[in-house]
Structure 1
Amino acid sequence: MSRIKDEMFITFNDVMKWFNAGDAMMQYRPANGGWTIAEVLEHITLTNFYLLLLIRKAALKSLQHSMENDYRDMLQSYEFDWEKMQVVSNRDAADWTTPEQMIPSGTVAAGDIKATLRRQLVECLGLLDDLKKGEGVLQTTMMNVYGLGKIDVYQHIYFLVQHTKRHIGQMRAIRNEFEENNLATQRFTHDRNPLSIVA
């Protein structure tokens, strides 16, 4: 699935750029009381951790099934529903409560979060390589979020990518608010500067 790999590289590369945002922006808390950019990045790693538990298990079962079954006919009729999976990246598509174990603590160092993201990317790429002959279609997992239903291993990995994209959108919104507030503060400070008095 070269398209999944391509999107994964682009998405993770985009995420890594946010570590250069600067401490003030990284720690800025939006007016709605939501997560900071640093917390969003931590949340991505936490969600990836739990998604990868399921993906890893499903990948192993897929490989086992592939040794026991001839799945060539299944591959010939297989179609990946890209549009169905891309709804996950849309922040307005659904409103759902974040599980407690995926709520960021806000205490993890940026360097540790970045290192975890790199390890998770390597693992995802490794799983796709392990399933390069189409084995991933042989095992499905129920995904209740967004009403996706049963998804195979490839779709599950793509879900991880789309979830990350969703939060890139969130970080962009936080950055925009931060920059707007900074401009407003600068204007306010400028307005308060005393006028020079001409004698």
Structure 2
Amino acid sequence: MKRFSTILMSLLLIGGMALQAQTKITKEERTAAIKYLKDTENEMMKVLKGLSDEQLNFKPDAGSWSVAECLRHITISESSLWANFVTGAMATEADPSRRSEVQMTDEQIMGVIESREQKVKTFPPFEPENKTESVKEVIKEFKSLRAEHIKFMKKTDADLRNHYGTLPFGTIDTYQAVLFMAGHTKRHTDQMKEVMANASFPKQ
């Protein structure tokens, strides 16, 4: 009986350790998220490089955003999305029982947010007019935020898959929230490119 109890306890311990290991993101997931964060930042910085004030503030029409306004919106979102869907989500207890609520794959999340086919009006707190600093200062803020987020993804052992947030299209887990945030940068970098492709965009 004593030997049986010892074996049982060992199995329970091993099982508990295995369950704990499953709550951590994989090496591949960590690498993919970090790459996505870096790539989307680098792409945006490449687009912004060398633009004059006239180019940064050009609008194709009254209802469109300028390149500078896209940047301001991206930076507001970088801070808010992280606060609400990462920091805020991680403040609650992990809940594996809710996994079935997450219906979309990582790839689908990235596809939805990157796509420019369906235009969506942003919520008032995310409007570019809420950030009045100079473009140079906004770039500095964005780079600082993104560096913090990359650092987090490099080091975290948090259970990102069993914390959740809710978006208009459904429930996502915290790992997907990081992908969503990076994809959001890609979405509006593409919007910058659309502005710059306008026939009336100022020449250098």
TM-score (structure 1 length as normaliser): 0.73
Q: 5 Å matches for 1:1-199?
A: 1-17=30-46, 18-31=48-61, 33-54=63-84, 55-61=86-92, 65=94, 80-92=105-117, 94-105=118-129, 107-132=132-157, 135-144=159-168, 147=169, 149-177=170-198, 180-181=199-200
Aligned residues: 165
Would the aligned equivalents of 2:69 and 2:128 in 1 still touch at CA under 8 Å? Answer: yes
Would the aligned equivalents of 2:109 and 2:176 in 1 still touch at CA under 8 Å? Answer: no
Structure 2: state its 5+ residue gaps: 1-29
Structure 1: state its 5+ residue gaps: 186-199
Quick one: which amino acid aligns to residue 168 of structure 1?
Answer: T
Q: Which has the higher contact order (CA 8 A, sep 6+)?
A: 2
Instruction: Report the Cα distance in structure 2 between the residues aligned to 1:100 and 1:13, rounded to whole angstroms.
Output: 27
Would the aligned equivalents of 1:8 and 1:161 in 2 still touch at CA under 8 Å? Answer: yes
Greater alpha carbon shift after TM alignment, 118-127 vs 155-164: 118-127
Instruction: Report the Cα distance in structure 2 between the residues aligned to 1:59 and 1:16, rounded to whole angstroms.
Output: 30
Helix, strand or coil for the counterpart of 1:20? coil
Would the aligned equivalents of 1:19 and 1:110 in 2 still touch at CA under 8 Å? Answer: no
Structure 1, residues 166-199: CA drift from partner, whole Å, max 9, x if none?
Answer: 101110010011xx2269x9xxxxxxxxxxxxxx
